[in-house]
Chains A and B, each alone.
Chain A
Amino acid sequence: MDVFLNLPVLVQVALKGLAVICVMFPIAGACSMAERKVSAWIQSRPGPNRTILPVFRWVPVVGPFLQKLGAFQLAADGLKFLFKEEIVPGQVNRLYFILAPVIAMIPALSTVTFVPFGASIDHAGRVFPLMLANVDVGLLAVFAVASLGIYSIILAGWASNSKYPFLGAMRASAQLVSYELSLTLSVLPVFLWINAPGTAGTMSLAKAVEFQSQAGFWGGAWFIITMPVSALVFIIALFAETNRQPFDMPESESDLVGGFHTEYGAFKWALFFVAEYSNMIVGSGVFVLLFLGGWNPIPWVSLATLAGWLGIAGHPVLVGAISILIFIGKILAMLFFFMWVRWTVPRFRYDQVMEIGWKKLLPLAIANLVVYAIGIALIQK
């Protein structure tokens, strides 16, 4: 750790960036594989289970297992994207056409830096979060940078110079702007509760977790228990923000071919894909931190308690590893939930999306905010 901190700032930044890329790309790839597997299982079929590297064919148990799991399919897909011909259709605006997937990567990869992915306990018994950029405004930063993602979709749709991508981009931008409101409003009660009078104001995600790991009945309850409506609005808006079914208007295959990425292929298309999955990952991460207790194993049992039970309270590295595992496990569960919903719920019609967003979700979020604001004011006085 000290070796790292002694490096020049620029080297540190570069290393962190590299780490993000090296982690996010494979995870996004694995998500795409998981998506295919989950969809297959839900539809009572085995899913991709054929591809195998010849070397692994002779590994007794592991080889067939990985083959059944489609692990090599993932590698094959990735390689295919790398080696496919990069086609740029003739009628597009080249600059923006190529820029759009690159822009998609910016929020996708940089929001991760604001998300604490674990915590550890130092020798003094204090819990400190593990994250790449510890800024006070945590959640705001995630929202702000994530809101830039809309440009990649708009530019992709506009630069493609063709009808379906354009329609997809139109829908996407309207949808993203509409649901951003509910998303932001739904988390306000959480921060109203956290920022009790007399404490230093914060929007930090780590603080939110800290609040869910206190002792006592109300201290240890996760926010999904104390604020179920907030959690509901947040998760619905999250589905819309990440363009996932049932809100995948921008790319609804049945009426828009592929939506904003219709004209894309090969690696540029893969970048959109990675961006979508990393947005999902970050979104799930934020949801887990805010409403599902972050790295606390189960409600009313905090990480520190667990470390005490396991007798590893004195080992920061061990505790950190366990907290990261718990957190990643929760994120995986969330991702599974995303996929599960995707293969269950049919797509909404576009006007329904708008109606849900403006006429149902937004009033609900506002009412929720008002109720909780009054309640919190009465409790915290």
Chain B
Amino acid sequence: MAHLLFLVFSVFSAVCAAGIVLSRNSVNAAMFLLLSLLGIAGLFVSLDAFLLAFLLLLVYAGAVVALFVFIVMLLDTGGGTSPARSLVAKLAGLVALALIAAGLGSFALRGRLAAPGAAGIPAVGASLKAYAYQLFTLYLLPVEIVGFLLLITMIGVIVLSRKEEGNP
């Protein structure tokens, strides 16, 4: 049962992720992103990490992707042809593809991930308290840094969106 669920959810997320990249219409892409996130939330649930699943839903599906869709609708970029890409961009794309292929290939060919046994991983995602404890002790610095980053972004947005005096 658990394996089946894992398979279903992971294939679902992967297919939707492919859909994000491949779809021309940006609303479709955003919807695929949402579905992919739902799949990942499903994965978390099947791992008993309810908290992470619901946080993912609340933050990403509920707010971030909603804002994406919001902006996509505001700009009204309904499909259309993608602009012609320059040679550099194409080359960069090729390099990225090659890197991904190499990475995946190395996993497939000689991948032996030295994963600790499942029992060795502390189940901090499952319990609310353990999660919060870890967040505010072990991972306090990253949390603070990310928070600071968000603050900078917010200030930046406010500064950028303010109209110049006398020149509205």
Does chain A bind chain B?
yes
**Residues in chain A within 8 A of chain B (CB atoms):** 96, 135-137, 140-141, 143-145, 147-148, 150-151, 154-155, 157-158, 166, 169-170, 173-174, 176-177, 180, 195, 200-203
Additional pairs, 16, CB under 8 Å, beyond known A151-B69, A154-B70: A96-B27, A135-B50, A136-B127, A137-B50, A140-B54, A143-B58, A144-B53, A144-B54, A144-B58, A158-B27, A158-B69, A174-B70, A195-B129, A200-B127, A201-B130, A201-B132
> Is the beta-carbon distance between A150 and B62 smaller than 8 angstroms?
yes
* A158 to B128 alpha-carbon distance, docked (Å): 37
Chain A residue at smallest Cβ distance from B57: A144
B95 to chain A: closest CB distance in Å?
A: 36
A177 to chain B: closest CB distance in Å?
A: 6
Q: Decide if B47 is an interface residue (CB 8 Å cutoff).
A: no
Contact of A203 with B128 at beta-carbon distance under 8 Å, contacts A135-B50, A158-B73, A166-B73 already known? yes
Chain B residue at smallest Cβ distance from A195: B129
* A131 to B66 alpha-carbon distance, docked (Å): 30
> Is the beta-carbon distance between B66 and A177 smaller than 8 angstroms?
yes
B88 to chain A: closest CB distance in Å?
A: 35
Per DSSP, chain B at the interface is helix
> Is the beta-carbon distance between B70 and A170 smaller than 8 angstroms?
yes
> Is the beta-carbon distance between A137 and B57 smaller than 8 angstroms?
no
* A148 to B34 alpha-carbon distance, docked (Å): 10
A62 to chain B: closest CB distance in Å?
A: 46
Chain A residue at smallest Cβ distance from B127: A201
> Is the beta-carbon distance between B73 and A169 smaller than 8 angstroms?
yes
Q: Decide if B17 is an interface residue (CB 8 Å cutoff).
A: no
Residue among B54, B70, B74 with max Cβ neighbours from chain A (10 Å): B54
* A177 to B130 alpha-carbon distance, docked (Å): 29
- Residues in A with CB closer than 8 Å to B66 are 147, 150-151, 154, 173, 176-177
A232 to chain B: closest CB distance in Å?
A: 23
- Residues in B with CB closer than 8 Å to A176 are 66
B43 to chain A: closest CB distance in Å?
A: 15
Sampled A-B contacts (25; CB under 8 Å): A96-B27, A136-B50, A140-B54, A140-B55, A141-B50, A144-B53, A144-B55, A144-B57, A144-B62, A145-B54, A147-B57, A147-B58, A147-B61, A150-B62, A150-B66, A151-B69, A154-B66, A158-B27, A158-B69, A158-B73, A173-B69, A174-B70, A176-B66, A177-B63, A201-B127
Contact of A145 with B57 at beta-carbon distance under 8 Å, contacts A177-B67, A180-B62 already known? yes
Residue among B51, B55, B74 with max Cβ neighbours from chain A (10 Å): B51
Chain B residue at smallest Cβ distance from A177: B63
Chain B residues with a Cβ closer than 8 Å to the other chain, count: 24
The number of A-B residue pairs with CB atoms under 8 Å apart is: 77
A331 to chain B: closest CB distance in Å?
A: 23
> Is the beta-carbon distance between A140 and B129 smaller than 8 angstroms?
no
> Is the beta-carbon distance between B62 and A148 smaller than 8 angstroms?
yes
> Is the beta-carbon distance between A148 and B73 smaller than 8 angstroms?
no
> Is the beta-carbon distance between B73 and A154 smaller than 8 angstroms?
yes
Other-chain contact of B57, A148, A180, A195, A203 (Cβ < 8 Å): A148
- Residues in A with CB closer than 8 Å to B51 are 136-137, 140
Chain B, residues 73-99, CB within 8 Å of chain A (1/0): the string is: 110000000000000000000000000
* A154 to B68 alpha-carbon distance, docked (Å): 11
> Is the beta-carbon distance between B58 and A140 smaller than 8 angstroms?
yes
Chain A residue at smallest Cβ distance from B51: A137
- Residues in B with CB closer than 8 Å to A155 are 69
Chain B residue at smallest Cβ distance from A200: B129
* A140 to B132 alpha-carbon distance, docked (Å): 14
Contact of A154 with B128 at beta-carbon distance under 8 Å, contacts A141-B54, A144-B54, A148-B61 already known? no
- Residues in A with CB closer than 8 Å to B50 are 135-137, 141
Chain A residue at smallest Cβ distance from B45: A135
* A158 to B70 alpha-carbon distance, docked (Å): 9
A113 to chain B: closest CB distance in Å?
A: 13
- Residues in A with CB closer than 8 Å to B70 are 154, 170, 173-174
- Residues in B with CB closer than 8 Å to A173 are 66, 69-70
- Residues in B with CB closer than 8 Å to A140 are 51, 54-55, 58
